Amino acid sequence: MSSTTMTIRLSKEVKDGLGRIASATRRTNSYLAAEAIEAYVARESAIIDGVRDGLADMQAGRVVSHDEAIARLEKTIAAAERIKA
């Protein structure tokens, strides 16, 4: 995977915190910042994809009523409780 350089602005508190973590983990600030940004991008991308998929389902009519959703959830919870007991 190729990489590129990016300049960002951080508060002093965040920069200092990153430095403390870097020292404790023997990693560089750059490595930790890249890891944090990668995790953020993955998490936010999954949320955006989920919303997009949900909107597509809605537009295609692949939905259930609130009552049906609650009934399905209650059935699933009851089954899980029987297994747990």
pLDDT digits 0-9 by tens, 14-65: 999 999 999 999 999 999 999 999 999 999 999 999 999 999 999 999 999 9
Q: Does some domain include residue 18? A: yes
Total number of domains constituting the chain: 1
Q: Does some domain include residue 42? A: yes
Domain carrying residue 51 = 12-84
Q: Does some domain include residue 4? A: no
Q: Does some domain include residue 6? A: no
pTM score = 0.74
Q: Does some domain include residue 3? A: no
Torsion of CA 59, 61, 67, 69, to 10 degrees: -80
Please report the pLDDT score of residue 85 as a whole number: 84
Instruction: Mention every residue, 6+ apart, whose C-beta is less than 8 A from residue 24.
Output: none
Q: Does some domain include residue 66? A: yes
